[in-house]
Amino acid sequence: MPMSRDYWEHRYQTKDMSWEKGAPSPGLVDFLAAHPELPRSSVAVPGCGTGHDVRAFAAAGFVAHGFDLAPSAIALAGEKTQAAGLAAKFTLADFLHDAPPQLFDWVFEHTLFCAIQPAEREEYVRAVLRWLKPGGQYLSVNYFITDDKDGPPWPTTRAEQLARFSPHFELVADWLPRSYPNRTGKEWLFWWRRKAV
């Protein structure tokens, strides 16, 4: 059964937010610092939570837009972004089923893939394709937990990521990123470019 909007909203309302680290993905921070040559284009961050990754993209000069299913996440993200003096948009949306408000140059993934039901993963791949421009890029920080059978989060592996995304994307690079202390060695960063159709 899909995790509903009520499920996620309840987790925000009860402050049951174990994923909330108060800072962007360290792997994303390093990626942005390492690539000043990349055009500062549009990026969608689905399942953005309170918006740390969206603000990291905005601070680096991207036109950043966060999306989340939970109204409280969108409200918190907007407040934090205003307080930080950054410009970014946040919109309530179901990434898996809604049409994007525009097509994006980038989609950035961080703990949404592991948060949806494993049975929804093909829909997730279709959503990335639906939200990206032709030739767009997909950057993902995937959480390689192996022992959690009672998600979210649910496990994934490098082999699964390659099997799901290789038919539609060329792998530009993948590597072990810097992580939050309690995720060290458990994350993997993939940089994909959408194949021409």
Ligand X SMILES: C[S@@+](CC[C@H](N)C(=O)[O-])C[C@H]1O[C@@H](n2cnc3c(N)ncnc32)[C@H](O)[C@@H]1O
Residues that bind ligand X (CB under 6 A): 3, 8, 19-20, 46-49, 67-70, 73, 94-96, 110-112, 115-116
Give yes or no for a cis peptide into 152 (omega within 30° of 0).
Answer: yes
Which residue lies nearer to ligand X by CB, 13 or 166? 13
Shortest separation between residue 45's beta carbon and ligand X, angstroms: 7
Task: Label the pairing between strands 132-143 and 169-175.
Answer: unpaired
| Token pair for 122 | 């093909």
**Could you write out the DSSP letters of every residue in 105-141?**
EEEEEESSTTTS-GGGHHHHHHHHHHHEEEEEEEEEE
Of 144, 197, 145, the C-alpha closest to 174 is 144
Q: Token pair 């972004």 is at which residue?
A: 81
Shortest separation between residue 102's beta carbon and ligand X, angstroms: 16
Residue type, 112: L
Q: Which helix (H) or strand (E) holds 80?
A: helix 71-83
Shortest separation between residue 196's beta carbon and ligand X, angstroms: 27
Shortest separation between residue 37's beta carbon and ligand X, angstroms: 26
Which residue lies nearer to ligand X by CB, 36 or 152? 152
Q: Kindly compute the dihedral angle of the four CA atoms of residues 18, 76, 10, 147, in this order, to the nearest 10 degrees.
A: -20
| Token pair for 138 | 């997909």
Which residue lies nearer to ligand X by CB, 32 or 116? 116
Which residue lies nearer to ligand X by CB, 15 or 196? 15
Shortest separation between residue 113's beta carbon and ligand X, angstroms: 10
Which residue lies nearer to ligand X by CB, 39 or 122? 122
